[in-house]
Amino acid sequence: MAPPPCRTAAPLSGRTAAPPSGIPRWAARAAGAPPGTGADLAGLTVAVVGLGYVGLPTALGLWSAGATVVGIDISDRRLRAVRAGDVDLLPAQRAALACAGSTDQFRLTTDAAALRTADAVIVCVPTPVTEDRLPDTAALRAACATVVGHAAEGQLIVLTSTSHVGTTRELLTEPLAARGLVAEENVLVAFAPERIDPGNQRHMPEHTPRVVGGTGPLSTRAAAFLLRSTASHVHQVADPETAEMAKLWENVFRAVNIALANELADACLHLGLAPVPVIEAAATKPYGFMPFRPGPGAGGHCIPCDPHYLLGQLRRDGPATPVVSAAMTALHERPARIARTAAGLLAADGIPAGRARVLVLGVAYKEGVADVRESPALRILGLLAAQGADVRYSDPYVPSVTVDSTVLRSEPRPHDAHGEWDLVIVHTVHPGTDLTWLDTVPRVLDTRSPKGPPLTPVAAS
């Protein structure tokens, strides 16, 4: 059961004497926590580096378990948003933030010097890709260098950011050793990949298992103890590399299957079949099948980005990865296919794209969030605008977006202008969205469950 959002700091599990410090303290705390129980983190100070969509829920979970939390972020703007509650959180997390922010046990700062007094440090910074879809580890390297530079003997340091296999040793263990802080002797180091599903009540962090791999058994046990309160179960593996590859495997699996669902959906349309009933029929098989649904591509920082950290590493000296490479290329090209199909629907009725009014319904990368990172909608808008179309969008979660240096603002009542839209592209449907007015629109392209002609192929480049 998740802890209540508001809590009062409690003494250390009935201890009357001062607890040991450093690594002995972690050994004692981890050994004293029965497997499967929530951790009592009272008396521990945990620094969370990076307060984005992973770091902030992590910080709140640790605070709810009794820890004093110091949230560190390089962005004053982000810290102001957190203080104001102007952030993407589920209702329970928002309540926890309101409580935590009113206490002395939840502090926010841009000062990395606060790392020195922490018992544990958790690194939660983004690992995006460049425009050329190459791994961009600049933020991760900077954060890890800062953590190493301020590390103190006895600290537990946990990396959660997805990256290539070997990152934990390369950016933490080896630089720490160069400072005289040897893992398992002077400090504890582990990798525990994040598992945050933004906007999904069913997958709250405390209801989701986590994987932990330390540089040694003590590091693994200490990290598992620390994170136990933020997960339904902690699965311990032999080393950081196993945990790093597990995270990559998870998201490569999803990427390949999303690309496959898109391809098979196009095949269904070519054969005159609606894809969704076919998927539902296949999903009745109780073994060996998992349903994935077609869509406009992939957004966020998991599916469009994480597989490239494996591909980039293997490209240097590893085995060929034709399946993964083809899947990532297909996902990248999907928005262009959507834009070409949209232009084709207009052309079929004698409407040039340059004279069309097109509305994209929903620009967040998934329902229930305000996140537009890597959203296919942005590319669809840009591609149609480049053809001269008058493009607009409507998304109650996203007040404005920038598309090719042009700021667009959400249409608050798109249904009032339904007679003016030559085409509506359904991209993301947030909870409670009314779609009945689409029946009066002359052309609708639903990217989630296409019913029209097969998507137009992209010309080879």
| In 350-389, beta strands by DSSP E | 357-361
Residue type at 158 in one-letter notation: V
pLDDT the model gives residue 145: 98
Each residue's pLDDT tens digit, 46-98: 999 999 999 999 999 999 999 999 999 999 999 999 999 999 888 889 999 99
- Whole-Å CA distances, 409 to 10, 300, 378: 48, 21, 13
Cα–Cα distance for residue pair 6/174, rounded to 1 Å: 39
- For the chain, give me the number of helices (H) and strands (E)? 13, 14
308/315 Cα distance (integer angstroms): 10
Indicate whether 16 pLDDT > 70.
Answer: no
Q: Are 229 and 39 in contact (CB under 8 A)?
A: yes
Residue 17: pLDDT over 70: no
User: Are 61 and 229 contacting, i.e. CB atoms less than 8 angstroms apart?
Assistant: yes
Quote the tokens at residue 8: 């009062």
Cα–Cα distance measured from residue 278 to residue 403, given in angstroms and rounded to the nearest whole number:
36
The least confident of 114-123, 154-163, 442-451 is 442-451
pLDDT digits (tens, 9 = 90+) for 316-337: 889 999 999 999 999 999 999 9
Query: If 0-12 CB within 10 Å is exposed, 13-18 middle and 19+ buried, where does residue 280 land?
Result: exposed
Question: Tell me: the pLDDT tens digits for 356-391?
Answer: 999 999 999 999 999 999 999 999 999 999 999 999
Q: What is the pLDDT of residue 35?
A: 54
Domain boundaries, the chain: 22-34+41-238, 334-446
> Which CATH number does the domain 334-446 belong to among 2.60.40.1120, 3.40.50.720, 3.50.50.60, 3.30.70.380?
3.40.50.720
Cβ density class 396-406: b for 16+ within 10 Å, e for less? ebbeebebeee
pLDDT over threshold 90, residue 29: no
pLDDT at 15 over 60: no
Contact 339, 297 (CB under 8 A): no
d(CA 366, CA 388): 27
* Contact assessment for residue 208 and residue 232, using Cβ atoms and an 8 Å cutoff: yes
Strands (E), 315-460: 357-361, 390-394, 400-403, 406-409, 423-426, 444-446
Strand partners, 402: 407
439 to each of 358, 392, 419, 424, how far by Cα in Å?
16, 19, 11, 11
Strand locations in 26-127 (E): 45-49, 68-72, 106-109, 120-123
Summarize the confidence of residues 408-423 as an average pLDDT. 90
* pLDDT in the model for residue 33: 63
pLDDT surpasses 80 at 110: yes
Catalytic residue numbers read: 302
pLDDT at 37: 54
For residues 376 and 335, the answer to whether their CB atoms sit within 8 Å is yes
pLDDT at 39 exceeding the cut of 70: no
* CATH number of the 22-34+41-238 domain: 3.40.50.720
| 22-34+41-238 and 334-446: identical CATH topology | yes
Q: What is the pLDDT of residue 34?
A: 60
What pLDDT is attached to residue 380?
97
215-258 pLDDT per residue, tens: 999 999 999 999 998 899 999 999 999 999 999 999 999 999 99
